[in-house]
Amino acid sequence: MLLIDCPYCGPRAEIEFAYGGEAHIARPAADVSEEEWEAFLYLRDNTKGVLAERWRHAHGCGRFFNALRDTRTDRFHAFYEIGTPRPDVGDAA
């Protein structure tokens, strides 16, 4: 079970959180092309390496936040607020 460091509440067990998928995917306006809409809705990098992802502290403060986690090791490298840019942590596992 992962240990997730909610930026608002501190480290908590994974079962308090809901996963939110890849981060930094902005929802486009309703007049975009089918390709752009598909990219927003369905296409994912599915990164093997450091992935920016969203979590929601569903059974805690309820807030969404972003995290950087290496999907090869499950090690977290950063937790940061929604709307802030992705921190640079390189590609270190």
Partner 1 sequence: MQKFSAFSLARQAMGRHLGWRPQWRSVVPKPSYDIIIVGGGGHGLGAAYYLAKQHGLCNIAVVERGWLAGGNTARNTTIIRSNYLFEQSSSYYEHALKLWEGLSEELNYNVMFSQRGCLMVAHTVHDVQVFKRHVYANRLNGIDNEWLTPEETKAFCPPLNISPNIRYPVLGAALQRRAGTARHDAVAWGFARAASDLGVDIIENCEVTGIDRDPSGKVTGVQTTRGPIRAGKIGVSAAGHSSVVLAMAGIRLPLQVNPLQALVSEPVKPAFPCVVMSNTIHAYISQSDKGEMVIGAGTDSYVSYTQRGGLHIPAHTLEAICELVPDFRRLRMLRSWGGITDNTPDRSPITAKTSVPGLYVNCGWGTGGFKATPGAANLFAWTIARDEPHPINAPFTIERFRDGTLIDEAAAAAVAH
Partner 2 sequence: MSGAFRLAGRGRIDTARPVVFRFDGRMVRGYAGDTVASALLAEGRHLMGRSFKYHRPRGPVSAGSDEPNALVGVGEGGRYTPNLRATQVEIHDGMVVVSQNRAPSLRFDIGALNTLAAPVLPAGFYYKTFMWPRGFWDKVYEPLIRRAAGLGRAPTAPDPDHYALHYAHCDVLVAGGGPAGLAAALAAGQAGARVILCDENVEFGGSLLVDTHSLIDGLPGMTWVARIVAELERLPNVQLLTRCSAFNYGPHNMVALNQRLSDHLAAPPADMPRERIWQVRARDVVLAAGALERVLVFEGNDRPGIMLASAARTYLHRYGVACGRKAVVVTADDAAYRVALDLAEAGVKIAAIADLRPTPGGPVVEAVQSRGIAVLPATTIQRAHGHLRVTGAELAPIGADGTVGRGRTIACDLVLMSGGFTPSLHLHSQARGALRFDDALGVYVPGESVERVRSAGSCRGIFALDEVLRDGVVAGLAAAGGETGPVWTVTRQDAPGAGGFAGALPRRGPGHLALAFVDFQNDVTAKDVKLAVREGFRSIEHVKRYTTTGMATDQGKGSNVNALAIVSDVLGRTPQEVGLTTYRPPYTPVTFGAFAGHARGDQFDPLRLPPMDAWARAQGVVFEDVGLWRRARYFPRAGEDMAAAVARECRAVRGAAGIFDASTLGKIEVVGPDAAEFMNRFYVNAWTKLSIGKCRYGLVCRDSGFVYDDGVVGRIATDRFHVTTTTGGAAGVLNMMEDYLQTEWPDLDVWLTSITEQWAVIALQGPRARDILAPLVDGLDISAGAMPHMTLREGSIGGVPMRLFRVSFTGELGYEINVPSRQAQAVWDRVWQAGAVFGLMPYGTEAMHVLRAEKGYLIVGQETDGTMTPGDVGCGWAVSKVKPDFVGKRALALPAMNAPDRLQMVGVLTDDPQEVLEEGMQLVTAAETPVPASAEGHVTSSYFSPALGRSIAIAMVKGGRSRMGAALYAPRLEGPALKVTLVDPVFYDPEGARLND
Query: Could you say which of 2, 25, 78, 82 contacts partner 1 (CB under 8 A)?
Result: 2
Tokens of 68: 């950087």
CB of 14 or CB of 81, closer to partner 1? 14
35 binds partner 2 (CB under 8 A): no
Cα–Cα distances in angstroms (integers) from residue 53 to residues 6, 16, 29, in the given order: 13, 16, 22
Residue 28 binds partner 1, judged by CB under 8 A: no
Say whether residue 92 binds partner 2 (CB under 8 A): no
Does the protein bind partner 2 through residue 80 (CB under 8 A)? no
Give 11: exposed, middle or buried? Use CB within 10 Å, 0-12, 13-18, 19+: exposed
Which residues have C-beta within 8 Å of that of residue 77, sequence separation ≥ 6? 50, 68, 69, 70, 87, 89, 92
> Should residue 5 be labelled a site residue for partner 1 when binding is judged by CB under 8 A?
no
**Residue numbers of the site for partner 2 (CB under 8 A)?**
1-3, 13, 18, 20, 26-32, 34, 37, 40-41, 54, 56, 58, 62-64, 73-75, 82-83, 93
